[in-house]
């Protein structure tokens, strides 16, 4: 496997369910990110981890809970979501988070809340 891999690719859940999104990067990077992408809107940064430590929490509701057990894996735990949370959730990584480095993205999880 190469690059950034996200699973599952599609997820349908009810508002009372609990589920988790998984991201794995094979690039040897130290920084990992969660983004939300809604139709016709710019990507919204949700969380940033650097060397497994959270460095950014962009005013995200507590129904989204990130976890970074090591520098290669990132999870997003979901519970009691709302219909407006339906979106494409993207994971990204970069070498060490410096502002002059590009971020590399996975193909996302398409989340639908019933």
Partner 1 sequence: EDQVTQSPEALRLQEGESSSLNCSYTVSGLRGLFWYRQDPGKGPEFLFTLYSAGEEKEKERLKATLTKKESFLHITAPKPEDSATYLCAVSLNDYKLSFGAGTTVTVRA
Binding site for partner 1 (CB under 8 A): 4, 6, 31, 33, 40-43, 45, 48, 50, 55-56, 90, 92, 97-108, 110
CB of 110 to partner 1, least distance (A): 8
- 80 near 99, Cβ under 8 Å? no
CB of 80 to partner 1, least distance (A): 26
Q: Which residues, in sequence order, are bridge partners of residue 41? A: none
- 74 near 21, Cβ under 8 Å? no
CB of 55 to partner 1, least distance (A): 6
CA 30 – CA 9 distance, rounded (Å): 24
């Amino acid at each position: 496997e190469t690059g950034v891999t996200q699973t599952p690719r599609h997820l349908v859940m009810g508002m009372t369910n609990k589920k988790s999104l998984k991201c794995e990067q094979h690039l040897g990077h130290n920084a990992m990110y969660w983004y939300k992408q809604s139709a016709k809107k710019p990507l919204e940064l949700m969380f940033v981890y650097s060397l497994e430590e959270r460095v950014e929490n962009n005013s995200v509701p507590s129904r989204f809970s990130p976890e970074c057990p090591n520098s290669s894996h990132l999870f997003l735990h979901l519970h009691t979501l709302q219909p407006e949370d339906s979106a494409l959730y993207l994971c990204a990584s970069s070498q060490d988070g410096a502002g002059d480095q590009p971020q590399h993205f996975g193909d996302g999880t398409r989340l639908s809340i019933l």
